[in-house]
Chain A
Amino acid sequence: MQATATESAVQTRSSGRAKGRFNKFRQYRMLFLMLVPGFIFLLVFNYAPMYGLVLAFKDFRITSGILDSPWVGMKHFNKVFDDPHFYVVLKNTILISVYKLIFGFPAPIAFALLLNEMRRPLFRKWVQTVSYLPHFISWIVLAGIFTTLFSLDGPVNALVKAFGHAPVVFMADERYFRSILVGTSVFQSFGWSSIIFLAAIAGVDPQLHEAAIMDGAGRFRRMIQITLPMLAPVISIMLILSMGTILDAGFDQIFNMYNAQVYGVADVIDTYVYRLGLINADYSYSTAVGMFKSVVALILLLSVNRLVKAVGGSDHTLW
């Protein structure tokens, strides 16, 4: 109700006179026309294949195809939820994902802000370029490097020993493993993720800074009071969108880094489903798990969207 009221208010203001639905469509005709190609793409490449989702409620028979495979109702979901190990991996997934969000989400923002403070263009360019590099190196390679770094005679343990402590097998220690996962993930992605924030900073009107300087605001204050608020819309939308992948804790990373000693804290939905799939490739089961993940993501996304709306108004939300 409220939305409609605002809408018509806006319309009244922008067109000056309300002339009913037909006029409204006439007014927006070009905008609707612009939406057509995107609409077609979504219909053809996203919505048309979505009938595959029914596999979650069927037993897939390869020669019958998706539509003619027999219905089995909630069988695959029951299998998922009756499996006690599923709750372990669900918990791990959520924890790892949330930690990654808490530490990984602010890191690129802070990096972008600091980068923006650097006034030597050449140096800044270097830092910026180099910070992206880890993004291009696969987790197979990175995992090998981190295993060496955290090994008993690796540099991290050398430091530990220098402080007079006994060396630790970090990669096999349940107390440290999640921290290592989160830390290395931040390391790999902070530079690359900062691009979007740099782009937003690039859009900040220089006049705002000038005005603040006139008022005698220092660099730090301007960073917090001008640049950061200008980033708020990007930050909030990135935060909301990141909810869409909340149950993807990072398969490549974890698969290449975990070992039997830390399964208890590191086994996540994707690694578990992968191991099950190796023995018994089951499209229906994995579709059911995928659907579960999507539904959770949808709920979270809508909740966070609502939360952001309540806190910051509708300017920063998805809709």
Chain B
Amino acid sequence: MDKRKKTITLLLGAALLATTATACGNDNDGNAEASSGASTASASASASGEKMKLMVWNFDADKTNLDGYAMNAIRDKLGVDIGFYNSTNDAAAIKEKLLLQIASGDIPDWWKEVPFADADKFADQGAAAEIPIDMLQQNAPKYMAWMEKNLGADPMRFVRHEDGKIYNLPVLWTLASSSEIIGYRQDWLKKVGIAKTPDTVEEMEAALTKFRNDDPDGNGKKDTYGMTASATTIQTIFSSVFGAYGVYPGATVDENGKAVRGEIEPGAKEALTTLNKWFKADLIDPEFFVNKDSNVDDKVISSKVGTVQRSWWEFIQPEAFYEGKYYAQLRKNVPEADWALSSGPKGPSGSFGITQGNPMLGTGIQFGKQLEKDPEKMAAYLKMFDATSFDLDLYTKIHYGEKGKTFEIKSDGTYAYIPPYDTDEARTKFGIGNYYHAPASFNDYDFQAPFMTRGDLMPVKEAAASKGIGKYDFMTPLAKPAYDEFQDALTQLTIKSFIDFITGRRPISEFDKYVADWKKAGGDKVLAEAQATLDQLNKK
């Protein structure tokens, strides 16, 4: 009796364990071969006797078709076979995933857009391949021409590694260096009786005063402010007012061969004085320093403020470029709303401008170390990158497909999909669209203009784009260990001090003390490093 019970208990125990094991322990064998996209791909790429296989990144598995029209166009054009590296379009994971792939030994043939510090590490630690300059010139001539057009001769000088070699193909986001502008509510200006867009600091002050006091939204309440901003970075803190005094905070700029940080220049003190005056006069959103970007959006779109700094394409029709958030969303509330655009107010000496972004905001493309031993393949990749980005025929085939079947060119020169290809689903099935990263990184917006802007809106776009004027940080793509070490402390110090000066918590007379603190907190080392780098660049 006792024994039987024991046996039953044991059996039960064993059964329970077995269920656990099958429920939790076993991985299903069916998935054993389905390792990450990268490893399967490189395995099949090494099969001999076939066409060379080039890999295209696929961040949107549901929007792409490996055997569709676009990929076949590349196959035909270059005489290669094409495979996909499957990843995700989630920024949070792309980087981690790549790092994990490399760390586990599955180095992809190429990758794009990792942070600068990572790209340097990949080069230093032997994960990224050297890209010989003559191979680049031979196989990617259009890319090189585009780079030269924007950066002058020897555009690769910005990415040359310490050892003098090139490890990445920089991506230029040409818009960055001229994106930030100031928008004034045109309808408000009209309402308060100002005929022309404010041009000087005084005129700007007059406009802001009226925006605050003259009830520009006509709701009978004094609930509008002249201007708002956020203080998440140094650049977002009223950069245009600093530009009026000739300084560009938040960026290391080249002033005739001298590396300068705008935040510690005398001009910054003048700008802070002006801003402090405006803050005291209640012209500035009194809680601008709490704002995140979304709060700024809220305040602009719900007509709480009349002046704001933003990328130019946010102020114009979405059909003229893209997004047009401040235009489209605002008009849902206020149909007659419009924006008067400005490059920022002119100061006493006639200076103006806004801190802009370095066009080399990302590291661009790197090749896996294994391609150093396979120059033919690297050359083929370079050819593919060049053709997909700058060859009108191939570009059109990838993005728009077959003329007369999937798209047509309208009389005003714009491209339009023909139904049923005006839906994502139909395009995915046919295998065309914007989701094929081969590499889809080099965007020559002059070349792409017909695809992005409706013909009749071209002047609107041109006018808005021409307003973005200012300087940018030349150090962005360059190695800067001192900056990396001190930037967090310096940035926090500057943002805090600027807000204190503007809001009057700290008297402007202490500006020099702030500058001294800044230098002591590592700022002098940052400047010395930047100067050395600049000398090096200008020598060449």
Point out residues on A near B: beta carbons under 8 Å: 30, 33-34, 36-37, 40-41, 61-65, 85, 143-144, 147, 151-153, 169, 171-172, 256, 259-261, 263-264, 267, 272, 275-276, 278-281
Q: In the bound complex, how far is the Cα of B290 from the Cα of A263, in angstroms?
A: 12
Is B13 located at the chain interface by the 8 A CB criterion?
A: yes
Q: In the bound complex, how far is the Cα of B10 from the Cα of A40, in angstroms?
A: 20
B294 touches A144 (CB 8 A): yes
Is B115 located at the chain interface by the 8 A CB criterion?
A: yes
Is B517 located at the chain interface by the 8 A CB criterion?
A: no
Is B286 located at the chain interface by the 8 A CB criterion?
A: yes
A264 to chain B: closest residue by CB: B496
A260 touches B289 (CB 8 A): yes
CB distance from A243 to the nearest CB of B (A): 29
Residues of B within 8 A of A33 (CB): 13, 17
Is B202 located at the chain interface by the 8 A CB criterion?
A: no
Assess A151 versus B287: contact at CB under 8 Å? Given A62-B122, A272-B488: yes
Assess A30 versus B102: contact at CB under 8 Å? Given A62-B122, A62-B127, A272-B488: no
Q: In the bound complex, how far is the Cα of B95 from the Cα of A274, in angstroms?
A: 15
Told that A152-B286, A279-B484 touch, could you supply 9 new A-B pairs with CB distance under 8 A?
A: A37-B17, A171-B290, A172-B287, A259-B231, A260-B499, A261-B231, A261-B289, A264-B496, A279-B487
Residues of A within 8 A of B102 (CB): 62-63
Is B157 located at the chain interface by the 8 A CB criterion?
A: no
A260 touches B126 (CB 8 A): no
Assess A169 versus B21: contact at CB under 8 Å? Given A61-B125, A62-B99, A62-B102: no
Main secondary structure of the interface of A (DSSP, over half): helix
Contact of B118 among A37, A264, A272, A281 (CB under 8 A): A281
B290 touches A259 (CB 8 A): yes
Is B20 located at the chain interface by the 8 A CB criterion?
A: yes
B10 to chain A: closest residue by CB: A30
CB distance from B437 to the nearest CB of A (A): 22
Q: In the bound complex, how far is the Cα of B289 from the Cα of A278, in angstroms?
A: 22
Is B150 located at the chain interface by the 8 A CB criterion?
A: no
Assess A169 versus B488: contact at CB under 8 Å? Given A37-B17, A147-B292: no
Residues of A within 8 A of B151 (CB): none
CB distance from A297 to the nearest CB of B (A): 25
B492 touches A263 (CB 8 A): yes
B115 touches A152 (CB 8 A): no
CB distance from B505 to the nearest CB of A (A): 9
Is B403 located at the chain interface by the 8 A CB criterion?
A: no
B59-116 residues at the A interface, CB under 8 angstroms: 99, 102-103, 105, 115
A260 touches B231 (CB 8 A): yes
Q: List 15 A-B contacts (CB under 8 A).
A: A30-B9, A37-B17, A40-B25, A62-B102, A63-B125, A63-B127, A143-B292, A147-B295, A153-B223, A260-B496, A261-B289, A264-B496, A275-B488, A276-B488, A281-B117
Q: In the bound complex, how far is the Cα of B13 from the Cα of A41, in angstroms?
A: 18
Is B429 located at the chain interface by the 8 A CB criterion?
A: no
Residues of A within 8 A of B223 (CB): 153
CB distance from B219 to the nearest CB of A (A): 13
A143 to chain B: closest residue by CB: B292
A280 touches B290 (CB 8 A): no
A169 touches B121 (CB 8 A): no
B287 touches A169 (CB 8 A): yes
Contact of B290 among A40, A61, A261 (CB under 8 A): A261
B289 touches A62 (CB 8 A): no
Assess A259 versus B289: contact at CB under 8 Å? Given A33-B17, A279-B117, A280-B484: yes
A36 to chain B: closest residue by CB: B17
